[in-house]
Amino acid sequence: MSAPVIPLANQGRAKSPRRSRRGLWAVGLALIATAVLWLVWFSSVFAVRDVRVIGVTGSPAASVLVTAAVPLGAPLAQLDADGATARILGLTWVGAVEVRRGWPNEVILVVEPRAAIAIQLGTGRGVDASGIAFYSPLPLAKDLPAIDADGVGLTAAVSIWQSLPDELRGKVVGVSASTRDDVELVLKSGAKVRWGSAEQGELKAQVLAALLQRRAEFYDVSAPELPTTQQEKAG
């Protein structure tokens, strides 16, 4: 009688059909992922075919398009959004910009122009709320105050003008300064106000409001505790 055959633990064990299917699934998923990666990053299916500007039209929009230099035909996934943003912000009249991908084939440039709150005398440039002077391709409002200043004087003039109470600001048609300490206001009446620095701005506004009850051609509130006026010369 022959001896019984005892199977070894790791001998003759067939591969599980479940494991085979998992292997096929893994290979299939890897192939699909590779195909999707190639389709998005390297094929022409999702290439840039159009670049659109939102926020401005006409020649300003054309200027933005040229400056952005977004290459047509390049894969949208490879768009250098940071580079395009930096180039557009090089236009001094642009205050903010957002570069968006518009799948499947579009790039959208959302532009926010700087808002001028004044006009710089001598150059005709707009001046925004942060004291930046810029040449605007867009028409500026005609009732903006004029600012005769540059550099630190321009920053100080803008800061003080914005800090004025609404009622007083409505009477100001011009601001001048050569430093941060010698700001001067021009009123609609033609009178001038020596404001000085930005210090004690609230007190200066209160003192000036009281002084304006008396007609004069010059008001000095640079030292609000000791204000002075100069009357109009007799005609």
The whole-number pLDDT of residue 26 equals: 67
Secondary element (H or E) of residue 26: helix 17-41
The whole-number pLDDT of residue 61 equals: 98
The whole-number pLDDT of residue 12 equals: 47
| pTM (predicted TM-score) | 0.77
Mean pLDDT by 10 residues, the chain (235 residues): 52 59 66 59 82 97 97 94 97 97 96 97 95 94 94 96 95 96 96 97 97 95 96 60
Q: Could you say which architecture CATH assigns to the domain 50-113?
A: Roll (3.10)
Measured between alpha carbons, how far is residue 152 from residues 118, 142, 187, 223 in Å? 16, 25, 22, 21
Domain ranges of the chain: 50-113, 118-230
CATH number of 118-230: 3.40.50.11690
